[in-house]
Amino acid sequence: MDETETILGIDLGTTFSLVAYADEEGPHIIRDETGEGRLPSVIGVVPSPEGGKPRVTIGWTARNHAVENPRATVYSIKRLIGKGMDDIRQELPFLAYAVTAGPRDTVRVEIEEDRYTPEEISSVILRALRERAERHLGRAVRKAVITVPAYFDDAQRQATRDAGQAAGLEVVRIINEPTAAALAYGIGVREALEQGAAPAPARTERGHVSLPQPTCPQGPSDKPANASAAAQTVAVYDLGGGTFDVSILRIERDVFQVLSTAGDTHLGGDDFDREIIKLVQREVQEQFGLSIDSPTTRQALRGFAEAVKIRLSEQEQANLELDLGDNRSYHRTITRNEFEALIDELVERTLVLCRHALRDAGLSPEDVEQIVLVGGSTRIPLVRRRVEAAFGRPPYTALNPDEVVAIGAAMQASVLSGAAADMLLLDVTPLSLGIETMGGAVGKLIVRNTTIPCRATEMFTTFVDGQTAIKIKVLQGERELAADCRALGEFELRGIPAMPAGLPKVEVEFLIDANGILNVAAREQRSGKQAGIQVVPNHGLTRDEVARITRESIEFAREDIDAHRRIDLVNQVEFDTHKAEQMLAKVGDQLKRAQRERIERDIAALRKLAAETQDLDELHRALDAFGKSTLHLAELGISAALKDT
């Protein structure tokens, strides 16, 4: 591979970030001088003792000094990127640093007198990873594949891309974290197929990752030895520090097809830590009457809670001790059972999303041949037990859950660089996309779980005579009415020649690129006038919005379909009766008086029915009958139009 074409694979995580690359020997995690591949996603701003420019610390240094520098140590920035202030209200009580509102409800992190965007802070972490890679490779690297949670929307993906560019990287592709993990897992599938080798334990050397062969722990099978390796249905359960995703994939040799995805961008290990923090704060308040909620104690409690959580993955209990001052101290032994009770509801939320993803893929748990665990939070015993119970088989744990996403990103990078051209990645878009149509309905162009990159077009027209502009409002969601979906952006197509309603032909195109970024264009075919936007909303979906979108799309399915149908029928009634009136004015004198009066009565009756009836089938029949009764009038109108030309 040409050295100038090295493309990095970067896992920009909530808690830790990693960088990797792939060459002819396979994927390599790039480690620091101690052999550690992880870089804490933490930055600190330390005042200069001479009063000069503040010094920025990154990674372990910033993390280790968080308690003594609480207001200027920023962590979990991934949970804020691409979000608005209203989206992160639930985060604020747990953040030691100050967060304020920027323009258009965007988020700013305030340190001393300076304000930083989440993209700027993320770019510092990405720059540190880039520099680590350059030191290891001995040359400059300027391209990267960066992973994001599958449920990141356009704003969050674009914000991640902006952070990469600010770090001096050309972001050649953004891919979903579960899909990246499946790529890493799929390398083992391919090796097992080609070599027919027995399963081997995971082995990690400094700077290089040797991928194990995947196994099917459910026991003997009647299939040939290589059959399951040749084609497998895989669930990737990705529970990281701040986000959760599940993706259902079909892996067949070198083709990785995502069948469905579900997730929550506000659910992860941070939330498990917070359950411990809330327990400690409550008990300190009860025992000592103290409220421990200063920036310093928030940083300290966060560190203590994370340490307790990690210990409880290996031990049945963990001790916690806090010095409260004035000869007061808080002692607590937390058992694994207590911790599991605290987080049980959170774990159940991940399993609900797993069931949604299976339903969208048209599969049952029995159809899944392998469950791959990704993210450090999957080390928690309760998580592994609940996942095994939900899918009816032990999860596959041979891959390092901290490193597997970076490995997959590096493999995708090698494909894009031309070093490994024999893999095909087929991802999906998580929510439906469309535009608002006349009457407040939604015209969906791309439905959720459509494979990306993808393109969809649909023809629309005007509703008012002489209309010279059309407003295109882009929507995201599963409901049938615009008021129940999220507006992503809007633009106007101007300069349409003034024509009777229904004659302009406006083609609307939705294009989602391989990064999941949406572009919308509209073109009036007769005049050639066109307009478009890249949809970049100010902030992303909250957890509650994602849950509501999915839940209400099912709960209100029948009502939504009926409401959409009513809008379409009423619009058609208005259009047809208006056209009939126009033709009566133009050629009505060619009709017998009785015919004309009957059509006029039919127009009034149809409009009255549209305004009053709740029986949509009755309205549909009446509209159909009106079309037949005005057929002769339409023929006269067409003949008159042909004579005019």
Query: Catalytic residue numbers?
Result: 11, 78, 177, 238
Instruction: Decide: 242 and 78 in contact? Cβ < 8 Å.
Output: yes
Alpha carbons 65 and 44: distance in angstroms, whole number:
8
Instruction: Decide: 30 and 96 in contact? Cβ < 8 Å.
Output: no
Mention every residue, 6+ apart, whose C-beta is less than 8 A from residue 290.
Answer: 284, 324, 328
Alpha carbons 163 and 458: distance in angstroms, whole number:
34
Backbone φ and ψ of 632, nearest 5°: -65, -40
Q: What is the DSSP secondary-structure string of 115-146?
A: EE-HHHHHHHHHHHHHHHHHHHHTS---EEEE
* Three-state secondary structure call for residue 496: coil
Neighbouring-strand partners of residue 10 = 19, 146
Task: Tell the residue number behind the tokens 């992973």, with chain if given.
Answer: 147
Task: Tell the residue number behind the tokens 């040939």, with chain if given.
Answer: 224
Task: Tell the residue number behind the tokens 């009566």, with chain if given.
Answer: 584
312 token code pair: 């409880």
Neighbouring-strand partners of residue 441 = 437, 481
Q: How far apart are the first and last CA of the chain?
A: 65
Mention every residue, 6+ apart, whose C-beta is less than 8 A from residue 543.
Answer: 264, 265, 266, 267
> Rounded to 5 degrees, what angle do the CA atoms 71, 77, 79 make?
125
Whether the link from the prior residue into 453 is cis, omega within 30° of 0, is yes
Q: Please report, as a single letter, which amino acid is at residue 250.
A: R
* Three-state secondary structure call for residue 448: coil
Mention every residue, 6+ apart, whose C-beta is less than 8 A from residue 403.
Answer: 18, 20, 29, 37, 204, 209
Largest CA distance in the chain: 104
* Per-residue three-class SS string for 589-623: HHCCHHHHHHHHHHHHHHHHHHHHCCCHHHHHHHH
Burial of 578-617, coded b for 16+ CB within 10 Å and e otherwise, reads bbbeebbeebbeebeeeeeeebeebbeebeebbeeeeebe
Alpha carbons 297 and 304: distance in angstroms, whole number:
10
* Per-residue three-class SS string for 33-65: CCCCCCEECCEEEECCCCCCCCEEEECHHHHHC
